[in-house]
Structure 1
Amino acid sequence: MISMPTWVVVTAVVLVIVALLGLWAMGTANRLNRLHIRTDAARINLEGALAARGHVIKALYPQLTKEVMNAEIVPLRAVDMGHRTDSENHVLSLLPTEIFHNPAFVEASTRVDIAARFYNDAVANTLAVRKRPDVRLLRLAGNAPLPKYYEALSAGE
């Protein structure tokens, strides 16, 4: 039987541990990347739902076209949802109560609510991984900004 020197065994064990840690870090970084992609896709879907609701409002109340357009030009950025939510809330506050019973408006608003839930769920999942100490220590998120939640009022609130 050939006996290996201790340093060879220790080196092999250390290399295996380093390789396993590297694979884990690479897998976690890939997961974070997929979560950020999911968040971006959900944000784009939310923006589409908001635009569709805006078109319904403009069709039903042409006198609010300027306010809707002012809300639509505010970018829906993952790092700063506050400006867009304020704009959307302003438009909703201008609507007469009878619009909340209009089927086209209810459908468009339901789509906004669903899209916002999907977006906020994606943000929650992304933040849960990003806030883990091991992810922060190894800087696995790179320089991607932290996404923010979308917190506009639902139609009729």
Structure 2
Amino acid sequence: MSGGVLALGALLVATVAALTVWCLTRVRRLHRLHARVEAARAGLAAALARRVRIALQVAESLDAPRAASLAAAATAAGAGSAPAADGRDPAGTRESREMAENALTRELAAHGAAVRDPTLAAELDDAQQLVVLARRVHNDAVRDTRVLRSRRMVRRLHLHGTAPEPVYFEIVDPEPAGSRGRADVGSTRHRTVM
């Protein structure tokens, strides 16, 4: 009888040890994913700020009517708060920033082709593509983190701790520089599927 109790005790200890190792592995993975989201969010904020700076330079090179609308859109996008470092969205700031960035994308699609300076045009194209890349990297990191956080055992054991659930940053991708026609940024057909 004591042999059976010892075997049951050993099985219980092995089960607890395996569960502990599994939990530690998941906690470490979640920590790395949250750090990845924070780094991607910082990269996205930098790419958005660079695009605003270049859009203001483009506005300076245009005639008055075009310049006013582009400068207003760039100023509105630059005035919006950057994606929050902790992932929280106080008072809908993320949605307002997304709307401002979409407005800037529309203005750049409408007036970006009028840029005569080839260096400035190349910088604008580069900034646009950097925003696309940074947003995709950010949203990929958010997706991976949310998938792991949604696992049943991770949720039940609260392995994510107090870290807020990361949120996607959804803006319309600008039309590539060499494409024909203008971007239909008012449509959801051009959104990147995540």
One-letter code of the match for 1:152?
I
Residue 69 of structure 1 pairs with residue 75 of structure 2:
yes
Note if contact 2:41-2:138 (Cα within 8 Å) is conserved in structure 1.
yes
Residue 141 of structure 1 pairs with residue 154 of structure 2:
no
Match of 2:23 among 25, 30, 44: 25
1:45 corresponds in structure 2 to: 43
| CA deviation after TM superposition for structure 1 residue 123, in Å | 0.8
Note if contact 2:27-2:160 (Cα within 8 Å) is conserved in structure 1.
yes
One-letter code of the match for 1:93?
R
One-letter code of the match for 1:22?
T
Note if contact 2:47-2:127 (Cα within 8 Å) is conserved in structure 1.
yes
Q: Which structure would you say has the larger RCO, counting Cα contacts within 8 Å and 6 or more residues apart?
A: 1
Note if contact 2:109-2:174 (Cα within 8 Å) is conserved in structure 1.
no
Superposed CA deviations along residues 45-99 of structure 1, whole A, max 9, x for unmatched, are 0110111111111111144445423322322123433221111112223346241
Q: Secondary structure at the match of 2:171?
A: coil
Match of 1:88 among 92, 101, 109: 101
> Counterparts of 1:69 and 1:30 in 2: how far apart (Å)?
40
| CA deviation after TM superposition for structure 1 residue 126, in Å | 0.5
Match of 1:97 among 110, 117, 129: 110
Match of 2:151 among 117, 132, 139: 132
2:131 corresponds in structure 1 to: 112
Return the TM-score normalized by structure 1: 0.88
Specify every segment of 5 or more residues in structure 2 that has no aligned partner in the other structure, as ranges.
Answer: 61-67, 116-120, 176-182, 184-194
Return the TM-score normalized by structure 2: 0.72
> Counterparts of 1:54 and 1:86 in 2: how far apart (Å)?
14
Q: Percent identity?
A: 30
Superposed CA deviations along residues 21-64 of structure 1, whole A, max 9, x for unmatched, are 00100110110110010011001001101111111111111444
Higher helix fraction (1 or 2):
1
Distance of aligned partners of 1:135 and 1:96 in 2 relative to their CA distance in 1, 3 Å threshold: closer
| CA deviation after TM superposition for structure 1 residue 6, in Å | 2.0
Specify every segment of 5 or more residues in structure 1 that has no aligned partner in the other structure, as ranges.
Answer: none
> Counterparts of 1:122 and 1:96 in 2: how far apart (Å)?
28
> Counterparts of 1:123 and 1:109 in 2: how far apart (Å)?
21
Report the RMSD for the aligned CA atoms in angstroms: 2.0
Q: Secondary structure at the match of 2:159?
A: coil
> Counterparts of 1:39 and 1:96 in 2: how far apart (Å)?
29
Q: Secondary structure at the match of 2:140?
A: helix
